[in-house]
Structure 1
Amino acid sequence: MLSAAKKRYLFAIYELGQTGKPIRSKDIASSLKLKPPSVSKMLNALSEDDLIEKEFYGTVTFTQSGAAMANQLYMDYLTLFAFFHQALEIPEFHARKDAILCLCDLSEPSRKKIASVILDSRGVS
């Protein structure tokens, strides 16, 4: 099971990758508002877990398993965000923050159950 911090990094890398530009450590640091040495340490851990590939002073890319995990995290995020923002009418900024917190800090079984309940209530299967 991934730690909350690793989930946050995978989520950030996934979002940064949507621009189509190469993802660099300093972009991740900026996105997460962290110092580059902290980011470097976590990227090494993600690399050891075979979730990313990182070139020395270069770009970061997902491995196949990392891409699958990040994609699932992002899909769960979209479900949670939509629930907070649309169903609960929470302002976008707060809905995003709360969805990311749930995504990263809830246990995987709880996160999946919440997403399932949300989707079932919408008639989505």
Structure 2
Amino acid sequence: MTEMLVPIFVCVVLPVCIVTIVFVAAMNNDNKRAQVLIKAIESNNGIDADKLAEALQKPKKTAREILNLRLLRGCIFSFIGLALCIVGIVSLCMGTEFSADPVTVPLVFGGASLAVGQSYLVVYFVTRKQIKD
């Protein structure tokens, strides 16, 4: 019976708890921002509510920051994919059969990671010309 409960908790209860915690934290932040705005409007001490609302908004990432994150993710995924592909090829060269796990698993995950990394890098190089310094 306990052998059956552990996978259920890991696959069902744990993801539901994580999603609940994330959404409750986001709602709590929004409620606190709204309370600050309501208090500022109620006190009416000459505070401009529009400027206060702008100051309390979530910070927006600039185009340069988004571009740098794409470059970073592209490099990370590409290097992880390249390393996994090298591990799979070395295992194949050491005499392990191609259908064995030490060869196919790193090659499959390495190929997927390499593809994701290359797509991030392509998007980076295409969109970097659109940003003015």
Which band: TM-score by shorter chain?
A: under 0.3
TM-score, structure 1 normalization: 0.27
Q: Which has the larger radius of gyration?
A: 2
TM-score, structure 2 normalization: 0.26
Structure richer in helix, relative to its length = 2
Structure richer in strand, relative to its length = 1
